[in-house]
Structure 1
Amino acid sequence: MEKRVPFTGEEKESLHVALDRHRDAVLWKLEGLDDEQLRRPMTPSGTNLLGLVKHLGGAELGWFRETFGRETGPMPFDLDADEMSDMRVEPHESTADILEFYARARAGADETIRELALDDLGTSWSGNTVSLRWVLIHMTTEVARHAGHVDILRELIDGGTGDHNRS
């Protein structure tokens, strides 16, 4: 069932639900596809559905965990060695591996969101001081942007359209 941002909710709850709606849409778009379809490069740069999910997992851990000095756990890529490694699914990585990584990233991000106040500050990878509020807005935008990419890739794979599961 589609989550709705509360029309009169508290700011933190509203921001968190907005983020969750897009996270859920990304995962819904993967349903019913086989491993080949999830890994199929759909653009000249090699973008594929699982690669986008892997990238989003890394972004959630980076922004919600590293920014606020919290442990991320192991990352399945090394951006220092290859700046595109978070977008690429390696042959040894299973679909389950990527989905488990994204679930772990979401859980870690959700923990940070629950425990911090919107005005709590952290330091981003670029050295900027940012608030949890800013990170929530940034990550909602990031996930929504990539959910749009996922929409297009899914339609190219099997014609599936729609932005949220309506059932």
Structure 2
Amino acid sequence: MSAEERIRHVPYEGGEKESLRVSLDRHRDVVVWKLAGLDEERARRPLTPSGTNLLGLVKHLAAVEYSWFCETFGRESEPLWFDPYAGEDMVAADDETTEGILAYYARARAAADRAVAELPLETVGTAWDGRKVSMRWVLIHMVEETARHAGHMDIVRELIDGTTGAYPQL
């Protein structure tokens, strides 16, 4: 399969759930690609005053995928080994590796994908803060959340080595 064929495209005439899911997957793929070819030091290098780094952003996105798609709808979620309320989801600890965080993200994506596949868009769950939210709302929120952080990753990766763009050069 060529690089062009691997790039996901939102269907021009697809259904609502399919379109939201493909849109989310496009941004998820960018998140993973932004770590490609980096060593451990560059993947965790903080490049903003707040400490934003690529591995921390991926770790955060994995945690929120589990939270919004699984915990909200009473589905199984991987236990956290860090405290997201203390900001520990935004940094990679010394014993966490790129490989380990990417594997965590892959597991979170798979669990989220199962929830999306199995639950109708109208399904209502309870968010971490007690709000009632639909699967439709969660999908829209996670497209926004992932796109926002993929944009952060664009900037951080460019500061690391000059790599830009949403996908590898075709």
TM-score by length of 2: 0.94
Identity %: 60
Moved over 2 A (4+): 164-167
Structure-1 separation of matches of 2:149 and 2:26: 13
Aligned length: 165
Structure-1 separation of matches of 2:20 and 2:48: 31
- Choose which of 16, 31, 52 in structure 2 pairs with 1:47: 52
What is aligned with 2:42?
37
Q: Does 1:126 align with 2:129?
A: yes
Listed as ranges, the gaps of 5+ residues in structure 1 are none
Q: 1:166 deviation in Å?
A: 5.1
What is aligned with 1:96?
99
Structure-2 separation of matches of 1:148 and 1:116: 29
Q: Deviations over 1:48-98 (max 9, x none)?
A: 000000000001000000000111122231235x2x011011001111111
The residue matched to 2:84 in structure 1 has which SS? coil
Farther off after superposition, 146-155 or 27-36: 27-36
| Backbone CA RMSD of aligned residues | 1.0
Letter in 2 for 1:121: V
What is aligned with 1:165?
168
What is aligned with 1:140?
143
The residue matched to 1:44 in structure 2 has which SS? coil
TM-score by length of 1: 0.96
Structure with the larger RCO, 1 or 2 (CA within 8 Å, 6+ apart): 1
Structure-2 separation of matches of 1:23 and 1:11: 18
